């Protein structure tokens, strides 16, 4: 019995050593490092809500230049594609035939004015003698008739002179509006006809410029409900190539019916276009003002994420933990997104970058930015 004690003692010491080694040799895992995120502050302001559509730039008027007298085209005063001012001479038709007609009309007027003066003098001389019965009443009345006929002939000649002068003036074709000239359909040396269906050229004004666009029935009724149907609706236009260059305008025309084929209604607006940034025929993006959202929450576009329950954002509470909130998107632009939420308030810290490593309730390391 005494011989076994050392063996038991050794076994006991071995077990105790194994237990102590297991307890003191176990290593604890360090706490995870909070992910870095970029943040900014939620702002609050009255925000316009727009309805997006596509429009096209058109000239307010399109003037087809056609001759008003026939003749040979002898001169052009401008080049194709030039800008022209209202009243500026563009073309000239050979004026010699019309100058001859004017000279003829003036000569005829001068001849008939002389006859008128003679007829008036006859009536004046015979007026006294008819009262003394030296000439019959019938003869005197004939003199008065001749005077009236001579006066009518002079009036007719004056009208002929006016018509001849107008035709002579038409030999110089002037621009009825200011704008840009298109290409020339007729070159110098050709004979122009009044009844020619083809125009010589076309002038399109550039300033101001019109915008045409259409709205679906549902969106049209939304705006009508908010702003009435007078048609003076504000809009913002941008070219796809230059999204940061905005053109503010107001609509002035709403068609009197919806297109039965497309279910849309046509509207027109007008822009100053003083620097001719917009050209007829261009397609353009239109944002029609729907209504103002009072005190909407403004956050950067990158802060809004899409989940199974819709759009949401992450904010950071006072303890540095991330909280997710579902939001309603009012308007989305390239600069900001306006949202609504009962859980988000002005001044809250919102995460704008790094959300991929964030989960609700975890600690985050926030880096503030001025991005908005």
What are 158-180's pLDDT values in tens digits?
999 999 999 999 999 999 999 99
Q: Are residues 166 and 209 in the same domain?
A: no
**Which domain CATH number covers 308?**
2.40.420.20
Phi, psi at 224, each rounded to 5°: -60, -40
pTM of the prediction?
0.69
Q: Are residues 113 and 123 in the same domain?
A: yes
Provide the pLDDT for residue 15: 56
Which of 293, 309, 327 is the endpoint of a domain?
293
Is 182 within a domain? Answer: no
Is 218 within a domain? Answer: yes
Which of 293, 322, 342 is the endpoint of a domain?
293
Q: Are residues 264 and 251 in the same domain?
A: yes
Provide the pLDDT for residue 6: 55
Q: Are residues 112 and 139 in the same domain?
A: yes
Query: Structural domain of residue 101, as residue ranges?
Result: 95-170
Is 329 within a domain? Answer: yes
Is 8 within a domain? Answer: no
Provide the pLDDT for residue 3: 46
Is 140 within a domain? Answer: yes
Q: Are residues 42 and 56 in the same domain?
A: no
Provide the pLDDT for residue 12: 56
Residue-averaged pLDDT of the chain: 88
- Cβ within 8 Å of residue 279, ≥6 positions away: 57, 206
Distance CA 178, CA 83 (A): 8
User: Please, what sign has the CA dihedral across residues 159, 163, 169, 173?
Assistant: positive
Distance CA 355, CA 350 (A): 10
Q: Are residues 100 and 142 in the same domain?
A: yes
Q: pLDDT per residue over 274-294, tens digit each? A: 889 999 999 999 999 988 888
Query: Percent of the chain beyond pLDDT 70?
Result: 90
Distance CA 140, CA 136 (A): 6
On the question of pLDDT at 1 being above 50, the answer is: no
More confident residue, 196 or 74: 74
Q: Are strands 322-326 and 242-254 parallel, antiparallel or unpaired?
A: unpaired
Provide the pLDDT for residue 270: 93
**Which domain CATH number covers 241?**
2.40.30.170
Provide the pLDDT for residue 7: 53
Q: pLDDT per residue over 63-116, tens digit each? A: 999 999 999 999 999 999 999 999 999 999 999 999 999 999 999 999 999 999
Is 194 within a domain? Answer: no
Q: How confident is residue 141, by pLDDT bands cut at 50, 70 and 90?
A: confident
Which of 271, 293, 315 is the endpoint of a domain?
293
Provide the pLDDT for residue 133: 67
Q: Are residues 284 and 300 in the same domain?
A: no
Provide the pLDDT for residue 4: 52
On the question of pLDDT at 132 being above 90, the answer is: no
Q: Nearest-5° angle of CA 147, CA 153, CA 159?
A: 140
Provide the pLDDT for residue 121: 92
Half-sphere exposure of 109 (CA within 13 A, CB side): 16
Q: Is 190 within 8 Å of 69 (Cβ atoms)? A: no
Q: Nearest-5° angle of CA 229, CA 230, CA 231?
A: 85
Distance CA 353, CA 370 (A): 13
Provide the pLDDT for residue 251: 92
**220 φψ region: left (φ > 0), alpha (ψ -120 to 50), beta (else):** alpha
**Which domain CATH number covers 100?**
1.10.287.470
Is 75 within a domain? Answer: no
Q: Are residues 306 and 352 in the same domain?
A: yes
Q: Are residues 152 and 163 in the same domain?
A: yes
Range name among 27-31, 201-205, 229-233, 251-255 with the lowest pLDDT average: 27-31
Number of domains in the chain: 3
Is 71 within a domain? Answer: no
Q: Are residues 215 and 135 in the same domain?
A: no
Q: Are residues 278 and 357 in the same domain?
A: no
Q: Are residues 229 and 255 in the same domain?
A: yes
């Amino acid at each position: 019995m005494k011989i076994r004690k050392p063996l038991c003692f050794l076994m006991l010491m071995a077990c105790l050593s194994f237990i102590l080694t297991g307890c003191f040799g176990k290593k604890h895992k360090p706490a995870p490092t909070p992910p870095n995120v970029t943040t900014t502050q939620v702002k609050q302001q009255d925000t316009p809500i727009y309805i997006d559509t596509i429009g096209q730039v058109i000239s307010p008027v399109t003037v087809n230049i056609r001759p008003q007298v026939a003749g040979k085209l002898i001169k052009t005063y401008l080049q194709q594609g030039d800008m022209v001012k209202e009243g500026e001479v563009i073309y000239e038709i050979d004026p010699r035939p019309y100058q001859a007609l004017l000279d003829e009309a003036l000569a005829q007027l001068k001849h008939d004015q002389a006859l008128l003066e003679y007829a008036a003098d006859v009536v004046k001389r015979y007026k006294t003698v008819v009262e003394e019965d030296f000439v019959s009443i019938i003869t005197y009345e004939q003199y008065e008739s001749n005077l009236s006929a001579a006066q009518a002939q002079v009036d007719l000649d004056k009208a002929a002179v006016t018509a001849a002068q107008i035709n002579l003036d038409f030999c110089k074709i002037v621009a009825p509006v200011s704008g840009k000239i298109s290409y020339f359909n007729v070159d110098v040396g050709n004979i122009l006809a009044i009844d020619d269906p083809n125009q010589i050229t076309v002038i399109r004004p550039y300033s101001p410029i019109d915008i045409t666009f259409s709205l679906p029935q549902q969106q049209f009724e939304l705006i009508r409900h908010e702003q009435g149907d007078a048609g003076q609706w504000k809009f913002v236009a941008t070219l796809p190539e230059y999204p940061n260059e905005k053109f503010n305008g107001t609509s002035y025309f709403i068609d009197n019916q919806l297109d039965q084929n497309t279910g849309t209604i046509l509207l027109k607006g007008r822009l100053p276009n003083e620097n001719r940034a917009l050209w007829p025929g261009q397609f353009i993006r239109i944002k029609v003002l729907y209504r103002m959202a009072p005190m909407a929450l403004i956050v950067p576009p990158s802060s809004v994420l899409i989940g199974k329950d819709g759009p949401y954002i992450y904010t950071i509470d006072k303890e540095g933990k991330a909280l997710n909130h579902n939001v309603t998107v009012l308007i989305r632009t390239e600069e900001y997104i306006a949202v609504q939420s009962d859980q988000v308030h002005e001044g809250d810290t919102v995460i704008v970058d790094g959300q991929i490593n964030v989960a609700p309730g975890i600690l985050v390391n926030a880096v503030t930015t001025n991005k908005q």
